[in-house]
Each structure stands twice: as C-alpha cells, then as structure tokens.
Amino acid sequence: MNLIEEIFKILFYKYGPQYWWPAETNFEIIVGAILTQATNWRNVEKSINNLKKEKLLDPFKLYYLSEEELSTLIKPSGFYKIKTKRLKSFINIFINKFKGDLGYMNTFPTSYLREELLKIEGLGKETVDSILLYALNRPIFVIDNYTKKIFSCLGIVSNRKSYDALQNIFHESLFPIYQLFQEYHALIVEHGKRECKRCLSFCFLKKLVISEFLQKQL
C-alpha cells in the first residue's frame, strides 16, 4: 500500500479542495512566498494589500522603488528590512536574467530555475519550491514544518530526515502532476493548522491511516 497516496485521499475527503495559493497573479504568488517566511498569512495579506493600494504589485515598479519605500509597505509581514532585501534580490534576477517575464522564465528547466533561485540570499528550499510549484506549475513537492511534523507523527519518516530526503519520498510515491502536489501540500497545511499544533497520538489522521493499513493487510 502507498501510504502517501492514502493520506492524500483521507485529507481530501476530510477537508475538500483548498484552491491554494490565494493570489490574483503568479507574480503575487512569488511575492507572497517571499514575505510569508517566519510569519502568518494574515500579515502577508496586509503587506500585499498595501502594494496593491499603491498599484506597485508589478516587478518593474518594484525594481525602481526604493528599499525604504518598499520596507514601509511590507512592514506588516515582519522582518521587513530583511524581506525587502530578499524581494529586491529576487526582482533583480527576475528582470535582468528572465526579462521580468514569467512566461519566458517558464521556458527554462526546473533544475536550472531551482539552482538560480537558491543562489538568492535568504531564499531557502521551501520558498524556492513554493515559487516553482505555485507560480510556475512545476511538479516539485514543497516540504514545510507541517509536513515534517505530521509525517514523523505518523511514524512514516524520521523527524531527522533532510529536506531533500523527505521530498524524494513524495516524488517517488506520487505521479509528477503539479495540481496534485499543490493540492496535497495545501491539505497538509490545512490539517496542520487545525489539528497538529502538537503531535497527538490519537489524531483522526493517525487512527485512519492505521485502520486503512490494517484493512489492506486482511
């Protein structure tokens, strides 16, 4: 039995489709992925709304915007000076290497894009993979803290597994379909927010996974 697939089915039946990532444009997804580091989504929404009010949610406008002005607008997302530099660094690469055009950027192989984005200071694997999965529709699974916590709680993986090792488990267990990866990751986040503030021995997911496993053995 493929437990990774079974867990997706359980979560989907429980929570339904998530329609994640919430954004009006793919560029907005990228901005959100960078701003959401070390904060909650409500704070990110405030920052994005500030940019929208000033009609600045555009790579070329942000490219010419001063760091001071940008810092003020994204202040609600926290660590705003650091995030300003990270966002500016991404936009600099996006415009100078990829013409500020997501369509053009999307013509490059996933491995090349991932390597280039990881060179940007402050953009780790989770942020980069979120950009690739949600903004560019590349089938690359995002591993976040909820994924590590839930799947170690279920006893499927060790909580000491590296990001790449855990990601490989999902890649080897699922068909490489970006819609599936998006939905699965969103469901993990939803479950994590609702029920996994701490590792619960008898959370409904653990009981159902054990039940499914036992039934398939009969």
98 and 44, same domain (yes or no): yes
122 and 182, same domain (yes or no): no
> Would you say residue 15 has pLDDT above 90?
yes
pTM for the structure as a whole: 0.93
Give the CATH number of the domain where residue 149 resides.
Answer: 1.10.1670.10
33 and 130, same domain (yes or no): yes
Transcribe 120-163 into DSSP letters: STT--HHHHHHIIIIIS--------HHHHHHHHHTTSS-TT--H
129 and 33, same domain (yes or no): yes
30 and 128, same domain (yes or no): yes
145 and 115, same domain (yes or no): no
Q: Where is the domain boundary, 135, 162, 180?
A: 135
Q: Where is the domain boundary, 135, 155, 172?
A: 135
Q: d(Cα 218, Cα 196) in Å, to the nearest integer?
A: 30
Q: What percentage of residues in the chain have a pLDDT greater than 90?
A: 79
Give the CATH number of the domain where residue 68 resides.
Answer: 1.10.340.30
pLDDT band at 208 (very low <50, low <70, confident <90, very high): confident
Q: CA Rg, the chain, in Å?
A: 19
What's residue 205's pLDDT? 80
The mean-pLDDT minimum among 11-25, 59-73, 153-167, 171-185 falls in 153-167
30 and 105, same domain (yes or no): yes
Query: 160, 172 in Cβ contact below 8 A?
Result: no
Number of domains into which the chain is organized = 2
64 and 131, same domain (yes or no): yes
57 and 114, same domain (yes or no): yes
Position 20, amino acid: W
30 and 74, same domain (yes or no): yes
11 and 39, same domain (yes or no): no
Q: What six digits make up the tokens of 147? A: 């994924």
> Would you say residue 200 has pLDDT above 80?
no
DSSP 77: G
What's residue 167's pLDDT? 97
pLDDT band at 57 (very low <50, low <70, confident <90, very high): very high
> Would you say residue 215 has pLDDT above 60?
no
- Which domain covers residue 195, as residue numbers? 3-19+141-217
Q: What six digits make up the tokens of 185? A: 């990751």
Q: d(Cα 50, Cα 32) in Å, to the nearest integer?
A: 13
Sign of the Cα torsion 167, 168, 170, 171 reads positive
